[in-house]
Amino acid sequence: MLKERHQFHLDYGITDPDERAKLEVAIPLGFKVNAAAGTTLWDVCNVFSRPELVRKIRDEIPASALVSHGVLSADKLRLSCPRLNLACKETMRLYVPSASARLVHEDVLVADQWLLRKGPIVCGFL
């Protein structure tokens, strides 16, 4: 889809990034058919409301996940772009009512009351 959108912009001579952004901002609304993909809209709003975060993520992605001109690696985005991933997790924590699952990496005592052993996945419902 991204390549097709990029080609659309080229075909119609839309080269100004601000004009492209105006055309693209509504696209995530169509993702709402899937609750997980629906977080994309909130990710965009959350990240782009913070210019300094946008700059840091824009610096991080080409350095870590760019495979070739215009091609990103999904695996590298997931594994090598901590700011991007943390921004997405923070968006889900703040804005998306859902279950949140986490892997317990080490034994931990929660609220001096509950011992979570290393290994299982725990869920929290928001």
The residue ranges of every structural domain in the chain are 2-95, 97-126
Mean pLDDT computed over every residue of the chain? 83
Q: pLDDT band at 38, cuts 50/70/90?
A: low
Give the model's pLDDT for residue 81.
93
Whether the CB-CB separation of 93 and 43 falls below 8 Å is answered with no
Q: pLDDT grade, residue 123 (50/70/90)?
A: confident
Q: Give the DSSP per-residue string, 91-103.
A: HHHHH--SEEEEE
User: Is the pTM here over 0.75, yes or no?
Assistant: no
In the predicted structure, residue 66 carries a pLDDT above the cut 60: yes
Q: What percent of the chain has pLDDT over 70?
A: 83
Read off the tokens for 20.
């492209």
The residue-averaged pLDDT of 75-83 equals 92
Q: How far apart are CA 30 and CA 37, in angstroms?
A: 9
**4-20 per-position pLDDT tens digit:** 888 989 999 999 988 88
In this predicted model, which residue has the larger pLDDT, 118 or 98?
118
- At 37 the three-state DSSP class reads coil
pLDDT tens digits along 87-107: 988 888 787 666 567 788 999
Q: What is the mean pLDDT of residues 25-45?
A: 66
